[in-house]
Each structure stands twice: as structure tokens, then as C-alpha cells.
Amino acid sequence: MTSPEFVALLRTRAQESRITLHDSWIPQLESFLRLLTTWNERINLTGLSVANPNASTIDRLLLEPLAAAHLVPQTAASWIDVGSGGGSPAIPMKIAHPRLQLTMFEARERKSAFLREAVRILGLRNVDIQRDRLQEAAPRFHAYAHLVTIRGVRIDDSLLRALRDVLHKQGRIFLFGSNKALSANSGLQIVAAQRLVPTPGSLLTTFVHAPTN
């Protein structure tokens, strides 16, 4: 796909999804997708078609994160992304929110290497990449995150405890995809659940700490 074709598809999908797309974001979004394509030939970062992206790829990797970026509270300052892998949703959201302090957790060495390269190539600032699991690092980040993002990561009891531990008392968790993994007694409360783009399966659920008696 040529650059004009990419830009045209991105603009069309953003317009159809009613997502504000700033011109200044587009070069970095395109660079991110091209870098993801190159690395995906060597390591499995995503099963989506990135070499010749279609509407579903654009929606899932770029526009869902940008839609979520518009929901980030203005008061947010520190942000944790869990299982950052191929860089989405964190990197597109970071492009939209350069001021936020982002910490990405990715335990796998080659995927964390990709993330470091993406941060360097895109010139992203205020980014820290932790080659660690959140479960082990949570005590160092107690009540730290005003925002936590998570997609494509299985949430077991140990991860759930870690999520609650790192979440600021006024923070929010953005869970992309199904929210069935979090039960009513998870210690978290749903405050919103919404579709981000028209693509089937596009869901963002926002959690906060459940009120204590």
C-alpha cells in the first residue's frame, strides 16, 4: 500500500467512525504501521494484515486506540499499558497524548526490543519500557497509574490483584475487548462500556476501583 492509499483509507475509516484525526498524527501512525510490518516478518506481533492493511486492520490497530485516546481524562498524568506486545493500543494512544508518562510492560525480549525501536523511530518521549510482568512489578508502582490500558492479555487472579494495586484511587482501567474476565467481585466497577468503531467486537470497558463500605 502506498502512502496516499494509506492516508486515504485512514481518513475514510476515521470519518466513518466519527473519530477526530489530527494531521500531525498521520506520519507517525504510518511509520508505526510500516515498522510493525517489517518486524512482523521476523516475530509474530499481530495476526492482522499489516503489509496490505484493510479496514479491519486500520480500525483495530489505529482507530480503536485513537477513539480511546479521546476518552482519557485531562487530569491523567501517569499511564501503564499491560502486555504491550505489538504496540497497539499504546503507541497510537501515545501519539495522541504525548504529554502522558507511559510505562509499557512486555516480558518477552524480542517484543520489548520492537517497542524500544518503535519509540526511537517515532521520537516518542516520556516512555519507559519494562521487560517484566506487571504481577512482579506492581509493588514498585503502587497506586501510580491514572490510566491502565490492557488488550489481548488473559486476566487471572494474580494479574487482577496487580491491576488493582497499580491503579490510582482516582484512576481508570481501559479494557479493550470482552470484559467477561472480570467478575462482579473483582474489586473493580464498570463505569462505561462502549463501541469504539463499527468493526464487530470493538468494545472498550472502563473500570474504576469499586466503592468500599
CA 73, CA 158: separation in Å to the nearest integer?
Answer: 27
Strands (E), the chain: 78-82, 101-105, 127-130, 145-151, 167-176, 188-194, 204-209
Instruction: Of 93, 99, 95, give the one whose Cα is nearest residue 71.
Output: 93
Indicate if the pLDDT at residue 117 is higher than 70.
yes
Task: Work out the burial of residue 125: count CB atoms within 10 Å of its CB; fewer than 13 is exposed, 13-18 middle, 19 or more buried.
Answer: exposed
Per-residue model confidence (pLDDT) at position 213? 64
Cell numbers given for 148: 491502565
The confidence score (pLDDT) of residue 167 equals 97
Please give the grid coordinates belonging to residue 77: 498524568
pLDDT in tens, 162-172: 999 999 999 99
Give the mean model confidence (pLDDT) for residues 119-135. Answer: 97
* Range 50-66 average pLDDT: 94
Residues in contact with 161: Cβ distance below 8 Å, sequence separation at least 6, in sequence order = 135, 138
Name residue, grid cell 480511546.
68
Question: For all residues of the chain together, what is the average pLDDT?
Answer: 93
**pLDDT at 184 (0 to 100):** 60
Q: What is the pTM of this model?
A: 0.94
Q: Where are the domains of the chain?
A: 64-209
How many angstroms separate the CA atoms of 213 and 206, rounded? Answer: 21
CB 74 within 8 A of CB 51: no
Compute the average pLDDT of residues 203-212: 91
Q: Helix, strand, coil % (nearest 5) of the chain?
A: 40, 20, 40
- Give which of 67, 81, 55, 51 is closest to 152, Cα–Cα: 81
For residue 41, give every residue at least 6 positions away whose Cβ sits within 8 Å of its Cβ, in sequence order, or none. none
Correct CATH for 64-209 of 3.40.30.10, 3.30.1300.10, 1.20.120.720, 3.40.50.150: 3.40.50.150
Q: Which residue has the cell 486515504?
A: 8
